[in-house]
Amino acid sequence: MKATKKNLEKYWKQNLKYLVILLTIWFIVSFGFGILFADQLNQIRVGGFKLGFWFAQQGSIYSFVILIFAYVWMMNRLDKKFDVDEK
Amino acid sequence: MDVQTWTYIIVIATFIIYIGIAIWSRAHSTGDFYIAGGGVPPLANGMATAADWMSAASFISMAGLISFMGYSGSVYLMGWTGGYVLLALLLAPYLRKFGKFTVPDFVGERYYSNVARTVAVLCALFVSFTYVAGQMRGVGVVFSRFLEVPVNYGVVIGMFIVFFYAVLGGMKGITYTQVAQYCILIFAFMVPAIYISIMMTNNPIPQLGFGGTLSDGTFLLDKLDGLHEELGFAPYTEGRKSTIDMLFITMALMVGTAGLPHVIVRFFTVPKVKHARLSAGYALIFIAILYTTAPTIAAFARTNLINTVNNASYDQLPGWFNKWEMTGLIEFDDKNQDGKVQYVADAEKNELTIDQDIMVLANPEIAKLPNWVTALVAAGGLAAALSTAAGLLLVISASISHDLIKKQLKPDISEKGELIVARVSAGLAVVLAGHFGVNPPDYVAATVAFAFGLAASSFFPIIVLGIFSKRMNKEGAIAGMITGLLFTSGYIIFFKFVDPEANIPDNWLFGISPEGIGSVGMILNFLVAWVVMSFTPKPPKEIRKMVEHIRYPRGAQEAHEIEM
C-alpha cells in the first residue's frame, strides 16, 4: 500500500487498536490475576503453586515478555503492509 | 583457595575487562558520547538495558525483601518488569524515531519551550542523583563485606572505575561494559540459585523447583505457609497489604520504570525504530531471568533459614551464622536465656533480627557452595551497581552539557567544546556521587519511592501525550508536569520527612502509601494537562507535523544522520 495521508491515518488507527488489545491483556495478567482476583485464583492449584500467587510472582512476568514480542511481530507486519517500514 | 583470594582474583579480572572495553570503545563525537553513535545492535542494547536497569538493590536486596514480604513483595516483581511493556508499546519506538539525545530534549522540542525543557532537566537530575548515591554506597558495601576494605575506600575504587569508562567512553563505553556486566551479574545470580534449587527440591530450574516438593514430599510453598503459621507470621502466599495499595504501588513502579530517563535513553542508541521495539523485548527477557529467579531464592532461603535456625541451640549453629553475626547482618539476643534461637512473629519473644541483604549474600555459604561462587556473588553485586551508576551519570552529564549549555546558555558552542563539557560534567557527577556514597544522606532508602514517584508523575504522562495527542500544547504540558511533581513530592515529603510518625494507613489518602502516590500524581498530571490544553491555543503547525512524523518508522535513520 502506498503511504498516502489517508493510509497513514489507517496505519495509526490499526496501531492504536493493537495497543488497546495488548494493554488490556497487560492489565488483566498483572493487576487482574495477580492482585484483584488473586484470592479467587488461589483456590485453584497448579502443582505446588496457588494460581493467584503464581501470576503475581511468575506468570505476569512471562506474559509481559510474550506481549512485547507479539507487539514486535504485529508492528513489523503492519509497517510492511502500509509501506512505512525502514529500508 | 580461601574466599578472599578468590574474590580478589575475580573482582580484579572483571575490572580489567571493564577498563579494556573502555579503551577500545572511546567516544570521538557528541553522538558517540550521548547515544553511542546510534549504532548499537538490538541484542547488545537489550543486555545493556538490563544491566543499566538492574541495580545493586535488584541484585543484593530484592530477593531478601520478597522473602520477608511474601506475596506483598509481588509489587516489586510486577512493577519493575511491567513497565517495559509500557516502554515498548508507548514510548521507545516513537522516541527513537524522534532521534535526539536526551529525554529533556524531547520535552523541549515537542513542547517548543525552554521552560518545559528546564523543568524536565531538573526532574532528570533529581531522579538520577537520588539513584546514583545508592549505587556508590552499594559498591562500598560489597567491598567492605567481601574484601574487608573500609566502605569509603570501596566507594573511591568504584568512583575511579566508573570515572574511567564513563568519562572516556561516554555512552559507547558504557554500553559495551554493560553488556559484559550483564553476563557477570546474571551468572553470579543464577549459579547459587540453581544449586539451592537442586539442594532443596532436586530440580535444577529454580522457577520449577519453586512449585516443587521438598524431600519430605510436601510442596515447598505449603511447607513455608505452614512454618509461617507455626511461628505466628501471616501465610507466605497471601496478602497483607491492602488491595488498593498493592494496585497503586504496582502502577507507580511500572509507570516510573517507563519514565526513568536512564532507561529511556538506551532506546536512542539503536539504528532503527524496529530495533527499539525489539531491544525492549530482549531487555525484558534478560531482566525476567533475574526477576523470575529472585522470588524462588526468596522462598528457598526463607524455608532454609527457618529450618536451620529456629529452636536450634546457639552453639550448634553452622559457621556462616557467626560470620554474618559479626557483620551485624544477623543479630541474636537470647531473651529467655535458654541458649536456643526463637524466631517468631511476636516482637516480645523474637530473638533474631535478620537483614534482608543476607538472603543473597550468604546464600552460597548457607547452601555450602564452593568458595569461588561466593566470590562470584561479590563481582556480580559490583557489576550491578557499577553498570547502573554509569548509566545514571551519563544522564546527568547529558542533561547539563546538552540541554542546559548547548540548547540554552551557549548555543554556538562547537561540537568539540560540547564534548569537553560533557566529559567535565560526567567527571563532576562522579565526584558528587562518590561524596554521597561516602556520606550517605540518611534518607537514601526513603528517596527510592521519590525517584519512581517523580518519574511516574512528571515524565511519563507528558511524553505519552506528546506522542499520542497532536493537540497537546506547552501550556498543558508544563501545567501537568508541575502539578504531578508538586503533588507527589508534597505527599512524600510530608510522610517521609515532615511527620514520619503519621505515616500509617489511617492517615493516607484513600489508603495509598507514599510508595504508591506517584500513580495519583500521574493521573492528576494527565487531567490537568488536558483541561489546560482545552483553554489554550493549539501548538504551531510544524509541531503537529513533527508528531505525525514520529508516528511511523520510515526515515528514522536519516534523523540520526542529520543530527550528527
Q: Across the interface, do A58 and B295 touch by the CB < 8 Å criterion?
A: yes
Q: What is the mean pLDDT of residues B220-243?
A: 84
pLDDT given at position B453:
86
Residue B530 falls inside a structural domain: yes
Facing A48 at nearest CB: one of B81, B93, B220: B220
Does the structure show a pLDDT above 50 at B249? yes
pLDDT given at position A3:
66
Does the structure show a pLDDT above 80 at B396? yes
One-letter amino acid of B266? R
Residue B294 falls inside a structural domain: yes
Q: How far apart are the C-alpha atoms of B105 and B97, rounded to whole Å?
A: 13
Higher pLDDT, B100 or B552: B552
Q: Name which of B116, B112, B216 is nearest B545 in CA terms.
A: B112
Q: Across the interface, do A86 and B273 touch by the CB < 8 Å criterion?
A: yes
Task: Give residue ranges of A with CB < 8 Å to any B CB.
Answer: 3, 8, 11-12, 15, 19, 22-23, 26, 30-31, 34-36, 38-39, 42, 46-50, 53-54, 56-58, 60-62, 64-65, 67-69, 71-72, 75-76, 79, 82, 84-87
Residue B322 falls inside a structural domain: no
B506 exposed, middle or buried (CB, 10 Å; 0-12, 13-18, 19+)?
Answer: exposed
Q: What is the mean pLDDT of residues B512-524?
A: 90
What's the CATH number where B497 sits? Answer: 1.20.1730.10
Residue A68 falls inside a structural domain: yes
Q: Given CB atoms, is B213 within the 8 Å cutoff of chain A?
A: yes
Facing A64 at nearest CB: one of B82, B211, B251: B82
Q: How far apart are the C-alpha atoms of B456 and B239, rounded to whole Å?
A: 25
Give the pLDDT band (50/70/90) at residue B28: confident
Among A13, A33, A83, A86, the strongest candidate for a mutation testing the B interface, having the largest count of B CBs within 10 A, is: A86
Residue B446 falls inside a structural domain: yes
Residue B486 falls inside a structural domain: yes
User: Is the distance from CB of B149 to CB of B382 less than 8 angstroms?
Assistant: no
Residue A34 falls inside a structural domain: yes
Q: What is the mean pLDDT of residues B419-448?
A: 78
CA distances from B418 to B36, B249, B410, B526 (A): 15, 40, 10, 35
pLDDT given at position B158:
85
Q: Given CB atoms, is B81 within the 8 Å cutoff of chain A?
A: yes
User: Is the distance from CB of B291 to CB of B299 less than 8 angstroms?
Assistant: no
Rounded to 5 degrees, what are φ and ψ at B546?
A: -60, -45
DSSP A44-71: SEETTEEHHHHIIIIIHHHHHHHHHHHH
pLDDT given at position B218:
86
pLDDT given at position A77:
92
Domain that holds residue A38: 5-81
Let me know how long chain B is. Answer: 564
A66 exposed, middle or buried (CB, 10 Å; 0-12, 13-18, 19+)?
Answer: middle
Give the pLDDT band (50/70/90) at residue B561: very low
Distance from CA of residue A41 to its chain's centroid?
21
Alpha-carbon torsion, ordered B218, B209, B75, B275, to 10 deg: -160
Q: Given CB atoms, is B160 within the 8 Å cutoff of chain A?
A: no
For the ranges A23-27, B166-170, B304-308, B341-345, the one whose mean pLDDT is highest? A23-27
Q: Which three cell numbers stand for residue B387?
A: 553498570
Q: What is the mean pLDDT of residues B279-292?
A: 95
Give the pLDDT band (50/70/90) at residue B186: very high
Does the structure show a pLDDT above 80 at B497? no
What percent of chain B has a predicted confidence (pLDDT) above 70? Answer: 96
Q: Across the interface, do A67 and B85 touch by the CB < 8 Å criterion?
A: yes
pLDDT given at position B446:
58
Number of domains present in the structure of chain B: 1
Does the structure show a pLDDT above 80 at B148? no
Alpha-carbon torsion, ordered B112, B118, B123, B127, to 10 deg: 120
pLDDT given at position B516:
87
pLDDT given at position B493:
82
Q: Given CB atoms, is B211 within the 8 Å cutoff of chain A?
A: yes
Number of domains present in the structure of chain A: 1
Q: For B238, which residue in chain A has the nearest alpha carbon?
A: A53
Residue A24 falls inside a structural domain: yes
B409 exposed, middle or buried (CB, 10 Å; 0-12, 13-18, 19+)?
Answer: exposed
Residue whose entry in the numeric block shows the C-alpha cell 508516528: B551
Residue A86 falls inside a structural domain: no
Q: What is the mean pLDDT of residues B377-389?
A: 88
Facing B280 at nearest CB: one of A42, A56, A68: A68
Q: What is the mean pLDDT of residues B77-105?
A: 91
Average pLDDT over chain B, rounded to whole?
Answer: 86
Residue B122 falls inside a structural domain: yes
Cβ-Cβ contacts under 8 Å between A and B: the total is 141
Does the structure show a pLDDT above 90 at B467? yes
Q: What is the mean pLDDT of residues A64-80?
A: 94
Among B72, B80, B87, B89, the strongest candidate for a mutation testing the A interface, having the largest count of A CBs within 10 A, is: B89
Domain that holds residue B445: 3-25+42-68+99-308+363-563
pLDDT given at position B206:
92
Q: Given CB atoms, is B551 within the 8 Å cutoff of chain A?
A: yes
Q: Across the interface, do B81 and A22 touch by the CB < 8 Å criterion?
A: no
Spell out which residues of chain A touch residue B280, defining contact as CB-CB under 8 Å.
Answer: 68
Q: What is the mean pLDDT of residues B154-175?
A: 84
